[in-house]
Amino acid sequence: MTDKITTERRGHILMIGLTRADKRNAFDPDMIAQLAAAYTQLDEDKTLRCGVLWADGPDFTSGLDMAAIAKQIPKMIIHPLVPRGKIDPWGVNTAPCRKPIVTAVQGRCYTLGIELMLCNQISVASTDASFTQFEVGRGLLPFGGGTVRWQLAVGTHNANRYLLTGEAFDAYEAHRIGLVQHVVAPEDLVAKAVEIAETIARQAPLGVQAALRNARLAQGFGTDKAIGKINFELLKLLFSKDLRRGFKAFKARETAQFEGD
């Protein structure tokens, strides 16, 4: 099986690359399975603290390779697109990755590419990025979590503006509505995403994961449920060695060196 997803460690960061540029990084079954394996690696490896999802070539992704996916449909009961035991990168069929992921987007970013951004935590777009959630124009609906996460990210009416029309929009509109957090020149794209990931990776890993876990609980089950779990999350952190490292560094006016325990 040809590698359509690459992974590279950079300290505590896992670089996850979409490398099917000759097909505009359109997702076929192999590519989905490989991305699921990369997300699972990030989730399970205790030395990794953050991921960066980036793409080779001029486009982030043109969406699904429908011809290849159609061939897989009769086999999906036995061989699901996301292999059993692996994390669904779109967080629909399994819980999402427990660690934060920064997405770097250039060129075309269609359908499930947007849904990857929405399931990840922070997005950076290059000035040449363009976005389309066009499933309604094909007789479908966004089935990678977009119907839920669009509204959480940009608000109900901004979400409806693009979910229900399937119209294209550019990087500046994506930034205006809150879909992306930074717009940069194409040559600065991956470097900016790595900079953000490195900042996250310098924080206490258990604290980052607890904050993300509680935020997701609020999104999925409401604020009351999440607030009810805050003291439980805090109690677990109070017994961590990293908390002591953080306070010691604060008193000494030094930068804490966290170890994730």
pLDDT: which is higher, 73 or 92: 92
CB–CB of 137/104 below 8 Å?
A: no
Q: Is the pLDDT of residue 182 over 90?
A: yes
Question: Do the domains 205-252 and 5-201 match in fold?
Answer: no
pLDDT at 39: 98
Read off the tokens for 191: 């470097």
pLDDT at 74: 79
pLDDT at 245: 95
Average pLDDT of every residue of the chain? 96
> In which band, very low, low, confident or very high, does the pLDDT at 75 lie, cut at 50, 70 and 90?
confident
Q: What is the pLDDT of residues 9-18, one digit of tens each?
A: 999 999 999 9
pLDDT at 222: 95
Distance CA 150, CA 146 (A): 5
Phi, psi of 56 (to 5 degrees): -80, 150
> In which band, very low, low, confident or very high, does the pLDDT at 1 lie, cut at 50, 70 and 90?
low
Q: Is the pLDDT of residue 242 over 80?
A: yes
| Overall average pLDDT of the 169-191 stretch | 98
Domain ranges across the chain? 5-201, 205-252
Show Cβ contacts of residue 160 under 8 Å, excluding neighbours closer than 6 positions.
none
DSSP characters over 229-256: HHHHHHHHHHT-HHHHHHHHHHHHT---
Percent of the chain residues topping a pLDDT of 90: 94
pLDDT at 79: 80
Q: What is the CATH number of domain 205-252?
A: 1.10.12.10
- 172-198 b/e with 16+ CB inside 10 Å = b? ebbbebebbbbbbeeeebbebbbebbb
Q: Is the pLDDT of residue 70 over 90?
A: no
Domain 5-201 architecture: Alpha-Beta Complex (3.90)
Terminal C-alpha separation, the chain: 37
Q: What is the pLDDT of residues 134-169, one digit of tens each?
A: 999 999 999 999 999 999 999 999 999 999 999 999
| Overall average pLDDT of the 87-111 stretch | 98
Residue with tokens 């359109």: 26
pLDDT at 78: 79
Q: What is the pLDDT of residues 15-59, one digit of tens each?
A: 999 999 999 999 999 999 999 999 999 999 999 999 999 999 999
| Overall average pLDDT of the 168-172 stretch | 98
Q: How many C-alpha atoms does 129 have within 13 Å on its Cβ side?
A: 32
Distance CA 171, CA 132 (A): 11
Percent of the chain residues topping a pLDDT of 70: 100
